[in-house]
């Protein structure tokens, strides 16, 4: 087993990604930047609020549609991994040009990715909505980088020792969306039904996508 903790901030130093430790400062800075943009005529308050509302309206169902399409369309999956911001527009999810970079990481039989933001709560909100409370909690953020398999087990996810676990640390400039493995026994399912198997947790990587049997049992 090889566990990796990868941080995408410049030079790999925590000092490049400390907005969680100075939330009040960054909140005031954001307000000042917003006021300056409005004063300079770059955009209006309504433009800013509209874009914020669009982001807040995102839900895990938006991400599930992206995953399901990648499961059924190999060419789309290639585009999604190579150029996520362009590919997700094909399913109606549009990100602003100023949005953080997004990487889509595919879980396979050999590699399992899971996401975290060790210093705050950076999350692909514009694709799958708000992060769950546990994702923002210190317990998850601190433990997942040192004991990822232990954390996975707490979510009911058991991996073979041969599977490499990669913990991907989000930053202000980079967000990660996990493409979970397609469950067995779904070969004849429609894209719409496949999307119902995709959970928020599976797109973070702490669980697998649901099995068709569990969906039937829960209905």
Q: What is the DSSP letter of 179?
A: E
Residues in Cβ contact with 195 at an 8 Å cutoff, skipping those fewer than 6 apart: 61, 64, 65, 67, 68
SS3 176: strand
**Longest alpha-carbon distance in the chain:** 57
Residue of 27, 43, 44, 122 marked catalytic: 122
Instruction: Assess whether 117 carries a catalytic annotation.
Output: yes
Could you tell me the two tokens for 185? Answer: 């026994």
Q: Among the options 9, 121, 170, 202, which is catalytic?
A: 121
Q: Torsion over CA of 195, 201, 203 and 204, rounded to 10 degrees?
A: 180
- Decide if 120 is catalytic: yes
State the catalytic residue, choosing from 117, 170, 171, 202. Answer: 117
* Distances in whole angstroms, Cα of residue 59 to Cα of each of 124, 129, 209: 11, 4, 16
- CATH code, residues 3-17+59-218: 3.90.330.10
pLDDT tens, per residue, the chain with 219 residues: 444 444 433 333 333 344 444 557 767 877 888 888 888 888 888 877 776 666 667 799 999 999 999 999 999 999 999 999 999 999 988 877 777 899 999 999 999 999 999 988 899 998 999 999 999 999 999 999 999 999 999 999 999 999 999 999 999 899 999 999 999 999 999 999 999 999 999 999 999 999 998 765 554
In the chain, what are the domain boundaries? 3-17+59-218
**CA gyration radius, the chain:** 18
């Amino acid at each position: 087993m090889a566990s990796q903790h990868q941080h995408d901030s410049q030079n790999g130093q925590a000092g490049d990604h400390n907005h969680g430790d100075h939330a009040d400062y960054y909140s005031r800075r954001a307000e000042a930047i917003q006021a300056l943009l409005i004063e300079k005529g770059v955009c209006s308050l309504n433009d800013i609020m509209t874009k914020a509302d669009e982001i807040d309206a995102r839900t895990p169902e938006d991400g599930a549609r992206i995953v399901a399409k990648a499961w059924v369309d190999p060419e789309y999956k290639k585009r999604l991994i190579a150029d996520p911001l362009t590919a997700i527009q094909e399913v109606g999810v549009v990100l602003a040009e100023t949005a953080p970079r997004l990487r889509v990481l595919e879980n396979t039989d050999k590699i399992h990715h899971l996401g975290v933001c060790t210093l705050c709560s950076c999350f692909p909100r514009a694709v799958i909505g708000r992060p769950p409370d546990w994702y923002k909690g210190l317990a998850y953020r601190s433990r997942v980088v040192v004991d990822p398999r232990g954390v996975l087990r707490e979510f009911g996810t058991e991996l073979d020792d041969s599977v490499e676990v990669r913990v991907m640390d989000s930053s202000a400039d980079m967000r990660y969306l996990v493409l979970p493995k397609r469950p067995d026994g779904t070969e004849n399912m429609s894209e719409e039904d496949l999307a119902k198997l995709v959970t928020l947790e599976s797109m973070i990587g702490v669980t697998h996508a649901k099995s068709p049997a569990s969906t039937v049992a829960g209905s």
